[in-house]
Structure 1
Amino acid sequence: MGDIIYTSPVVRCLKKQLPNPEIHYLTKANFKFLLDQNTYIDQLHLLKPRLKETIATLKAENFDYVIDLHNSLRSTLVKVRLGIKSSTYKKERFKKWLALKWGLNLIKPDHLVDRYLKAVSFLGVKNDYRPIDYFLPENTKPIQEILPDHYQDPFIVFIIGATHFTKRMPNEKVISLCEKIDFPIVLLGGEDVKFNAEVIFKALPKKIINLVGKISLNESVTVVKNATQVIGFDTGLTHIAEAFNKKLITIWGSTVPELLGVQPYQVEKHYEAGVVLSCRPCSKFGLSACPKGHFKCMKNINENLIIDFISHE
């Protein structure tokens, strides 16, 4: 999700800076919801079961250029088969391997948006330095229906979901942090962290509003949009929060934002919580368990620094 979200400034810059461009976007069907409301995309194409069928559909469009922001085997095949001028985002795989394997980080801490934009620089397109875009459907429930008892009160969203274990704080650490926060806290996340949410809610039932696994993604985005502040791990909904320029705390365990270029983008007030360790980062995308067994990257995060940031105007 995060990689796709960070393509939105590229699409916007292409649409606004080129003379009357027609922009088509190709992605997997399960990411359709991230893009189908984007007003800068003229047509959304979804990968078909057979790549041959997808390429046949694309060929019929007679494109002038292909901009490859994925740089995978599949996207390479699409470029080759279309046989037109193309430009590709450079992933710097070897440098990332050096950083993970040997702790030798040769990658510039440029944001992924800036890395993507290099692929369209030959067209004269430049960064407009505006936040990412996320467009909610018109039929999304309003906040008054999602949080009828709290929508007018200042509240903090805590996004406790993340695909991999090493991206998530232990429950007891989340509870300890929430105890120190002087606002109602809305928990958000998917089905995979419903048990975690129940444990946290039971510990602090008067402070926690548990919506984990109970509302849709776009309803979760609506809650984020109306929050006073947002706390989140390295996950898609946390990155979506950047579209609304919320005061944002991102918490990093086994992953580091600089390696992938996914630090908060164009957010006025943000704090990145993490611990300096010789074993961190141990992964680009997270792991199912701490390779060292101690999980210090999450357990040693200073909660007081997070509270200070939340409390500071």
Structure 2
Amino acid sequence: MSATLVTGCAGFIGMHCAQALLARGERVLGVDNLNAYYDVGLKQARLQRLQAQPGFAFERIDVADGVAMRALFERVRPARVLHLAAQAGVRYSIDAPDDYTASNLLGFGNILQGCRTQQVAHLVFASSSSVYGGNARLPFSERDAVDHPISYYAATKKANEVMAHAYAHLYGIPTTGLRFFTVYGPWGRPDMALFKFTRAMLAGEAIDVYGDGQLVRDFTYIDDIVEGVLRVLDKPATPDAGHDPLAPHPGTSAAPYRIFNIGNSTPTLLLDYITALESALGTTAAKRMLPIQPGDMHSTAADTAALAAWVGFSPATPVREGVARFVHWYKGFYKP
């Protein structure tokens, strides 16, 4: 059985997805560059969990390295590719745009070319709710235009979707993009709000609350993300028989290409998210209210009807439950 290539395997979503594939008895080749955008020790701890399981192999490669990626595809000939490697973070994209150009654009181009040369059965890649940018109509639907990104990170994710469609159209590669909505949970990213808030509150420090706590996010628990990703991976994209070139649907195509939202469909006020964390920690946060940051969206909410119709699943883990699980993991991992 050919391996599934999982890029970004030492990342938050990548580790969980690779772990779930291994639990099903599949072979996984994980790729990651273990960069220092956030704590490398956490990435290595995630990687160790994967390396302890049979069927897993790892190669430290930067997806932006075209020579290394070409050699990898030729040697491994993966049956499927789950591309999760990317330079993450909206705010960091303001300070270090070159990192996003390299990883998210050049790196994704290398993935597409590898999938083309090996004619993989299915490419699933991570997009982001950030592509909705300046859209104000909620919930966000795949039918909405996404032509107004408000961060460079979002622009690179929009570019990924367009690049992927071109390859699906030209070379017939079944390709599916998933727009993730604010993923959280155990083994999460230290640059995300839940991680920062938990660390500060346990240290007795004030937390920075942007947008005066009035921002709204469709917080989506990691286990729901994994379930959705695997179901999509198992069902390769197909051409939309009802595609109308005079009124095209942005989420489908005459090519084997699909785009899906994957979010909890329960938009939550940031202050309510903090309340759930306060409950899980048994303490009240000292809050430092700050204005919204450049590049941040005010509100997100996912319409997941298309995902449900395609694979029969929509995320639904309540925020209070998910936050409590994260706190349990955090206390066990860091032993504060």
Whether these two folds match at TM > 0.5 is no
Bigger Rg, which one: 1
Task: Calculate the TM-score normalised by the size of structure 2.
Answer: 0.35
Q: How does the TM-score come out when normalised to structure 1?
A: 0.37
